[in-house]
Amino acid sequence: MNPTPLAGLGVLVTRPEGQADALCRLIEAAGGRAIPLPTLLIQAIPKPAAAVALLAEDWDLMVFTSRNAVEHGLPLCPAGRPRAVALAAVGETTARALDTAGCPPDLVPTGRYDSEALLALDALTGVLGQRVLIVRGEGGRATLGDTLAERGARVFYAEVYRRTAPVVDPGRLLAQWTTLVQLATATSDEILRNLVEILGPRGQAKLFATPLVVVSARTASFAEAMGFRWVELADRAGDAEVLAALIRAAQPHTGPTADSP
């Protein structure tokens, strides 16, 4: 087995600053060159009074949708602990953040980690009359809350952080793209959308010809609709699974490459 399957390859890592270090280390251990380009800024809600009030109430179920929801939501809870009969985490990273904070979740999906997988758990099929608080960022996906409401739950949202696009000058990166970047990653629709906007019209042709690793079928479809020519879907959203997808994308293949005309 090749111990450095990414040898000589540059990988664009687009996760928010402070959340990409582990993936960058894995890429470099595999012989690749991690190129951090955060395309999303995570910021606390400036006036969280509404979220604080909700988090002080008692709930049958409290759902944390991301690691960011845990890191920004728990400090707003009374004594830093959720007031809920049961806790749910949408993904593995979210579950780990809760566990590290001393609040291990009761419900975590298996297989793929997303809202749909969480909703497939037996415990969430019988929520009639339950009070459910979803802790999330501003303007998060509606699928989870809408589905629980359709099943009879009374759903509320505590929005504890916001996502914004950073201001980035991509000129130097684009000038060296062919030699620097051979693979790219995007772990959410919003990250992908911001990446395309940051690179602008002059960078989109280069980006669309670069193999892209994503972590959900939804983002894969979004990328293909945008014009990406090769999209590799990771088995899960974890760093190890993203690395495995990068290694698959790096193998010789018959599809388009970043150097194809």
- Give CA–CA dist 36/227, Å, rounded: 23
DSSP 60-111: EEEEE-SHHHHHHHGGGSGGG---EEEEEESSHHHHHHHHHTT---SB--SS
Instruction: Single out the residue of 191, 257, 181, 245 nearest to residue 213, CA to CA.
Output: 245
Question: Residue-wise pLDDT tens for the chain (261 aa)?
Answer: 688 999 999 999 999 988 999 999 999 999 999 999 999 999 999 999 999 999 999 999 999 999 999 999 999 999 999 999 999 999 888 999 999 999 999 999 987 667 888 999 999 999 999 999 999 999 878 999 999 999 999 999 999 999 999 999 999 999 999 999 999 999 999 999 999 999 999 899 999 999 999 998 999 999 999 999 999 999 988 899 999 999 999 986 433 443 433
Q: How many CB atoms lie within 10 A of CB 145?
A: 20
Ordered structural domains, the chain, with CATH: 10-40+167-250 (3.40.50.10090), 43-163 (3.40.50.10090)
Q: Under a CB-based contact definition with an 8 Å cutoff, are residues 63 and 118 in contact?
A: yes
Which tokens sit at 73?
């939501």
